[in-house]
């Protein structure tokens, strides 16, 4: 199958699964044409997933299709945007129809649920790698940015952290199925972009990032030139993760493993965690407070905790 039959068979039906009136030209031209409605700002983001770097070899293709879109939707969520459309670049070692069908199905399930239209892309042969470039809309001037935190503001996180990192450790070490890690594997393979929360945060005028590299690393990205005091015992971890790793192990993963795609945000002023969007069951937890100077301290019951692992970086700490 050449790339044109592949586009007709897999990408065009995916593009037809959602339609937006702002999309003037979708798949089929040299470029897509999208009209930004008056009074709206357009948010653009891009994330690449490379085999062996972002996902293990033999990742189930259905999950990979979902995940490639989900990590981009998570960036739209962190900005407070409503999803509109995306482009998709797929580099494949070979054109396996069963692999492609499962990949397209996984991506379609999330695209339809979150109402985001595939408007174009690129299909090439080479080492397996997926890039999605997503666009979203929000009322002009209302984007949720990084920075913007004041001393005394609360630092909050959605959901629970560490399970995706645990799933990766497990995939590294074992290939026999184990029901105890099913929930963790599901979280790694099918991240849930927190779109409703991100859009709700626009109103609060706070700052947000999604947790892709790890809590401590992404907190640095969120605060820019402020610091933070974090409460080790407040880090939200699931019961399932605690039973796999113990409370300390679970908190270590929560502090430094990435891949969870929760939202980490600043809530202005003191007080308890906000309740979140109306009707939402997603828990929000206060994990610390913004401080004046730079640097993050992690306070445990017996004083401050030093963690070697801070989060994921490409190219490590090596400099020429
Ligand atoms: N090759 C590049 N060219 C231009 N800008 C880039 C490039 N790579 C990254 N950036 C920009 O640098 C900033 C930080 O990028 P980063 O990838 O860390 O953000 P992110 O997408 O939120 O994180 P993650 O990829 O872990 O989800 C973003 O504004 C991003 O658009
Ligand atoms: C096989 C495998 N090994 C390690 C990891 C961990 N990992 C890789 S990239 C990244 C940060 C987000 O990437 P980016 O900043 O490029 O968006 C994290 C936490 C993984 N997901 N899969
Ligand atoms: Mg991000």
pLDDT reported for residue 320: 60
pLDDT higher than threshold 90 for residue 236? yes
Which pLDDT belongs to residue 317? Answer: 62
Q: What is the pLDDT of residues 149-197, one digit of tens each?
A: 999 999 999 999 999 999 999 999 987 888 889 999 999 999 999 999 9
218 is in an annotated binding site: no
The secondary structure of 68-86, three-state, reads HHHHHHHHHHHHCCEEEEE
Q: Which ligand is nearest to the CA of 263?
A: 3
SS3 158: strand
Structure-derived torsion over alpha carbons of residues 134, 136, 141, 146, reported in degrees to the nearest 10: -40
The pLDDT value recorded for residue 318 is 52
- 259 Cβ closer than 6 Å to some ligand 1 atom: no
Amino acid 282: pLDDT? 98
191 alpha carbon – ligand 3 mean position (Å): 13
Kindly report, residue by residue over 112-158, the tens digit of the pLDDT.
999 999 999 999 999 999 999 999 999 999 999 999 899 999 999 99
Q: Confirm whether residue 146 is marked as ligand binding.
A: yes
Closest approach atom of ligand 2 to CA 49: 16
Nearest residue CA, atom 6 of ligand 2? 54
Predicted confidence at residue 174, as pLDDT, reads: 85
Distance 257 CA to ligand 2 centre (A): 9
CA distance 129 to 132: 10
**For a substitution probing ligand 2, which of 170, 190, 258 has the most ligand atoms within 8 Å of its CB?**
258
pLDDT tens digits for range 66-108: 999 999 999 999 999 999 999 999 999 999 999 999 999 999 9
Q: Which ligand is nearest to the CA of 77?
A: 3
- Do residues 103 and 64 lie in contact, with contact meaning Cβ atoms separated by under 8 Å? yes
State the Cα–Cα distance between residues 82 and 247, nearest whole angstrom. Answer: 36
pLDDT tens-digit map of 9-57: 999 999 999 999 999 999 999 999 999 999 999 999 999 999 999 999 9
Please give the distance, rounded to the nearest whole angstrom, from the Cα atom of residue 239 to the centre of ligand 1: 33
Instruction: Give the pLDDT score at 294.
Output: 86
| CA 79 centroid distance within chain | 12
pLDDT score, position 179: 87
Confidence at residue 159, expressed as pLDDT on a 0 to 100 scale? 98
89: region left, alpha or beta (phi > 0 left; psi from -120 to 50 alpha): beta
Q: Which atom of ligand 2 is nearest to the CA of 52?
A: 1
Residue boundaries of the structural domains of the chain: 3-139, 154-304
**The token pair that represents 312 in the structure block:** 């994921």
Q: In whole angstroms, what is the distance from residue 297 CA to residue 188 CA?
A: 28
Q: What is the third-level CATH fold of 3-139?
A: 60s Ribosomal Protein L30; Chain: A; (3.30.1330)
Pocket test for ligand 1, best of 143, 212, 256, 259 (most atoms within 8 A of CB): 212
pLDDT value at 319 more than 70: no
Confidence at 293, pLDDT banded by 50, 70, 90: confident
pLDDT value at 315 more than 90: no
Is CATH 3.90.650.10 the right assignment for the domain spanning 154-304?
yes
**Which residue's C-alpha comes closest to atom 23 of ligand 1?**
212
**Cα 314 to ligand 2 centre (Å):** 8
Ligand nearest to the CA of 258: 2
175 among annotated binding-site residues: no
């Amino acid at each position: 199958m050449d790339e044109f039959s592949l586009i007709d068979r897999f990408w065009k039906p995916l593009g037809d699964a959602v339609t937006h009136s702002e999309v003037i030209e979708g798949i089929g031209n040299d470029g897509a044409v999208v009209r930004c409605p008056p009074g709206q700002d357009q948010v653009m983001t891009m994330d690449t997933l490379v085999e062996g770097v972002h996902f293990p070899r033999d990742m189930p293709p259905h999950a990979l299709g979902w995940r490639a879109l989900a990590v981009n939707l998570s960036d739209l969520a962190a900005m407070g945007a409503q999803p509109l459309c995306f482009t998709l670049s797929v580099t494949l070692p070979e054109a396996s129809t069963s692999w492609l069908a499962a990949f397209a199905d996984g991506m379609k399930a999330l695209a339809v649920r979150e109402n985001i239209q595939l408007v174009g892309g690129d299909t090439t042969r080479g080492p397996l790698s997926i890039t999605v470039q997503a666009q979203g809309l929000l009322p002009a001037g209302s984007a949720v940015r990084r920075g913007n935190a004041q001393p005394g503001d609360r630092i909050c996180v959605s959901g629970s952290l560490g399970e995706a990192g645990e799933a990766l450790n497990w995939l590294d070490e074992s290939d026999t199925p184990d029901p105890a890690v099913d929930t963790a594997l599901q979280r790694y393979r099918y991240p849930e972009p927190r779109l409703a929360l991100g859009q709700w945060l626009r109103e609060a005028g706070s700052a947000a990032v999604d947790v892709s590299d790890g809590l401590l690393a992404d907190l640095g990205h969120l605060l820019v030139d402020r610091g933070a005091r974090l409460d080790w015992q407040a880090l939200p971890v699931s019961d399932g993760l605690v039973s796999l790793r113990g409370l300390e192990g679970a908190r270590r993963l929560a502090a430094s493993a990435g891949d969870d795609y929760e939202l980490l945000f600043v809530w202005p002023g003191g007080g308890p965690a906000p309740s979140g969007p109306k009707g939402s069951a997603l828990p929000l937890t206060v994990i610390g407070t913004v401080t004046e100077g730079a640097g993050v301290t992690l306070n445990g019951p017996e004083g401050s905790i030093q963690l070697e692992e801070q989060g994921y970086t490409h190219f490590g700490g090596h400099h020429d």
